Amino acid sequence: MNLLEFNKYLDHNYSESNLISHELKNLYPTRWLRIHSLPDSKRYAKSEDETQRILTRQNKIISEIIGEKSEIIIVMGLYEEEPSNKVPKISSKYGFFEYYQSINIHQIYPKQYEKNIYNNTFFRTDLWRQNSQNELLRDIAKDKSRAMFICVKSNCIVAPYDGGMDIIVDSQKKEIYSK
């Protein structure tokens, strides 16, 4: 999916969103589901066993919602002091990402963010395969990275965070589990 197609898709399906994962639950409350990755809503893994539990659960849920080998758009938001609108692509340990937008986050959330903080958003396409994004999911669970997965085919967003996942489904009536 190229930038033009991505813009069209977002304008049609998520026009209210700035692609900031923590705002999704407020923008789409009737389509929002939160799943905690560890028992008792525990936020961070304290052992490798707990980290593996997080990865296993998240991979299973994402595979159920999106489907194996479905195209996904990985959206990565970077909080920085300057806009990245002059950087057409970035390379990260998660692959090459194309520039999407820079938002002055202080203008949207002045009480939560200092002046001159930008959410620089980049995207790339991939195919979802179980365990293929474990490095990214692990870093998100440790609050070292931020990203979300968008699936055009399922018209859903999966936004992992350091405690679980927020999921925005196509409609209230969508069945998440096939069982």
What pLDDT sits at residue 172? 52
Q: Each residue of 147-175: pLDDT tens digit?
A: 999 999 999 999 999 889 999 998 755 45
What pLDDT sits at residue 177? 46
Classify residue 46 by burial, with Cβ atoms within 10 Å: 0-12, 13-18, 19+.
exposed
What pLDDT sits at residue 115? 87
Average of per-residue pLDDT values in the chain = 89
In order of 65, 112, 157, the CA distances from 74 in angstroms are 15, 25, 10
The pTM (predicted TM-score) of the whole model is 0.89
What pLDDT sits at residue 178? 41
- Side-chain half-sphere of 111: how many Cα atoms within 13 Å? 0
The Cα–Cα gap between 41 and 60 comes to: 18
What pLDDT sits at residue 174? 46
What pLDDT sits at residue 86? 77
Which regions in the chain score pLDDT beneath 50? Answer: 174, 176-179
- What residue ranges do the domains of the chain occupy? 3-168
The Cα–Cα gap between 127 and 13 comes to: 21
What pLDDT sits at residue 43? 85
Using the structure block, give the residue that is written with the tokens 């999911």. 137
